[in-house]
Structure 1
Amino acid sequence: MALTINNNMMAMNAARNLSHSYGALATSTQRLSSGLRINTAADDAAGLAIRELMRSDVATLNQGVRNANDAISMIQTADGALQVVDEKLIRMKELAEQAATGTYTSDQRLIIDSEYQAMASEITRIAMATDFNGIYLLNGNLSGANYDGAGINSVGKLKVHFGTGNSSAEDYYYVRIGNSTASALGVGMGAAAGTSGRSISTQEMAQKALDAIQTAIVSKDKIRANLGALQNRLENTISNLQIQAENLQSAESQISDVDVATEMTNFVRNQILTQSAVAMLSQANSLPKMAMQLISG
């Protein structure tokens, strides 16, 4: 290589190597400080796209878990209210049994019937008042077979959404809760005319009310059994969602997270190369001085 003044090729080569090593050092520093192998699309464009899709699925699945937990809380609220309704129906059957015997006068049966009607009114009050986050659970609003969510307020059965898409087979299912008012159960004066459980003011009506109350208890138990089955299903759904989210998070980590041991090795290598390139650039810049020695000599 000729000794020249205008073009110091050794310095240019050292500067190029320094720029490359310093850039690699900066990349290693960024990865180690962020903990991520992919910080920009330039690091791995395909990996970045896959990572972001996985991150969106993980976030959606975690929200799905929260949705399912909210649904469980709603079901527990409804079941707790139905437990109180159960107590009222048992008391009503006890009163009907009492009024069905012939050892009471008509006035006494009217007194017994007044408590009977009070229990029926309380059942209706509970059904009309039980709500979860403003959604009334036992008044029949959620008993419809059809669902319509096109409006501001959805109509019919309640949709619990927990999946990452919108497939009825995979991402959601419905919760239906039957009407639990006294009239719907067929007891108390609110029941339809001719219903056996309307009153126990006479011995004959009290005897017929026993069967009507038994039917009401069975109807209520069916609602509770359905709620229990839904709660168990939601708990299983939550377990599955958590496993999915965990596995997706693991896969995302394999793509996105930096291997600290490997990257630390790269960091040290790039650091040494950078320091070496700086030293050699300094030496290369001093080489043209040799030409001056020849000229002056």
Structure 2
Amino acid sequence: MSLTINHNLMATNAARNLSSSYSNLSVSTRRLSSGLRVGTAADDAAGLASRELMRADISSLNQGVRNANDAISLIQTADGGLQVIDEKLIRMKELATQASTGTYNSDQRLIIDSEYQAMASEITRIASATDFNGVYLLNGNLSGANSTHDGSALASTGPLKVHFGTGNDSAEDYYYIAIGNSTASALQVGLGAGATAAGASISTQENAQKALEAINSAIISKDKIRANLGALQNRLENTVSNLQIQAENLQAAESRISDVDVASEMTEFVRQQILSQSAVAMLSQANSLPRMAMQLIGG
């Protein structure tokens, strides 16, 4: 190579190598400081796209866990209300049994019936008042008998839809909670059920005896609602466990794509650091080489 003044090719080469090493050192520094192997699309465009989709699914699954847990709380609220209704029905059967015997006169049976009607009114009050976050649970609004879920309006109607998946596939992402009507009229007890209903009144011995079977039917109807809620709660608890496992595995997959291998990247960092330091030293030496030409001219 000729000794020239206008063009210092060795310095140019050293500067180019320094620029490359310093750029790589900057990438390693960014990766080590952020903990991410894929920080920009330039690092891995396909990996970045996969990572963002995974992050979206992970966030959706975590929200699905919260949704399912909220549904469990709703079911527990409904079951608590039904438990109180159960106590009222048991008391009503006790009163009907009392009024069925012939040792009481008509005035006494009317007194017994007054408590019986009070229990029926309390059942209706509980069924009408039990709500979760403004959603009434036991008054028939969530019954699936005569309606289907409709979420097109601001207030949804029909069975309650619990959404927990990342998509909108009914086989995988949601199911419905239908809760039967638990008012006294729906259970066919008390005057609200109609004067001709078997469980309407216990004011006479005959009516009291008829009411016993009606109350048994009411208890069975109520127990069917509770059993259905219990099954749904168990299902939701299993769903929560499954969603948490999915989120955990998806997080692990996202980590393998996105996170930096610190040991490997630290090795690369040291390598680029040494190359940068070497390039700086060589550039300094290359910049001093034209002085040799000056020595020849001066000589």
Shorter-chain TM-score bucket reads over 0.9
- What displacement does 1:193 show? 3.3
Partner of 1:46: 46
Query: C-alpha separation between the residues in 1 aligned to 2:46 and 2:194?
Result: 67
Q: How many Å separate the matches in 2 of 1:13 and 1:190?
A: 97
Q: Which residue of 1 aligns with 2:70?
A: 70
- In 2, Cα distance between the equivalents of 1:74 and 1:103? 46
The residue aligned with 1:243 is: 245
Residues 1:172 and 2:174 aligned together: yes
Deviations 1:7-60 (A, max 9, x none): 000000000000000000000000000000000000000000000000000000
Per-residue CA deviation, residues 68-117 of structure 1 (Å, 9 max, x unaligned), is 00000000000011000000000000000000000001000000001001
1:208 aligns to what?
210
Letter matched to residue 94 of structure 1: E
* 1:187 CA displacement: 0.4
Please give the alpha-carbon distance, in whole angstroms, between the structure 2 residues aligned to 1:70 and 1:193. Answer: 40
Q: Deviations over 1:143-198 (max 9, x none)?
A: 03411111111110000000000001000000000000001000011113310001
- How many residues get paired? 297
In 2, Cα distance between equivalents of 1:123 and 1:275:
84
Q: TM-score, normalised by structure 2?
A: 0.99
Could you say which residue in structure 1 is the equivalent of 2:198?
196
- Structure 2: any 5+ residue segments left out of the alignment? none
Q: Which amino acid letter does the alignment assign opposite residue 127 of structure 1? A: A
Distance 1:260 1:281 in 2: 31
The code of the aligned residue for 1:154 comes to S
Letter in 2 for 1:52: E
Runs of 4+ in 1 over 4 A off after TM superposition: none
- DSSP 3-state at the match of 2:25: helix
Q: Which amino acid aligns with 1:158?
A: L
State the alpha-carbon separation in 2 of the partners of residues 200 and 193 from structure 1: 11
Gapped regions of structure 1 (runs ≥ 5): none
Give the 3-state SS of the residue equivalent to 2:161 in structure 1. strand
Partner of 1:120: 120
Percent identity at matched positions?
80
User: In the alignment, which residue of structure 2 is the partner of 1:233?
Assistant: 235
Partner AA of 2:288 in structure 1: S
Q: Report deviation, 1:201.
A: 0.4
Q: What letter corresponds to residue 172 of structure 1 in structure 2?
A: Y
* Separation in structure 1 between the aligned mates of residue 99 and residue 37 of structure 2, nearest angstrom: 80
Could you tell me which residue of structure 2 aligns to residue 265 of structure 1?
267
TM-score normalized by the length of structure 1: 0.99
Partner of 2:285: 283
Secondary structure of 1:156's aligned partner = coil
What SS class does the counterpart of residue 147 from structure 1 fall into?
A: coil
2:30: which partner in 1? Answer: 30
- Distance in structure 2 (CA, Å) of the matches to 1:194 and 1:289: 120
Question: Partner amino acid for 1:67?
Answer: N
- Alpha-carbon distance in structure 2 between the residues aligned to 1:261 and 1:166: 41
- Distance, in Å, in 2 between the alignment partners of 1:17 and 1:279 is 12
In the aligned structure 2, how far is the partner of 1:159 from the partner of 1:89?
30
Alpha-carbon distance between aligned partners in 1 of 2:43 and 2:194, rounded to the nearest angstrom:
73
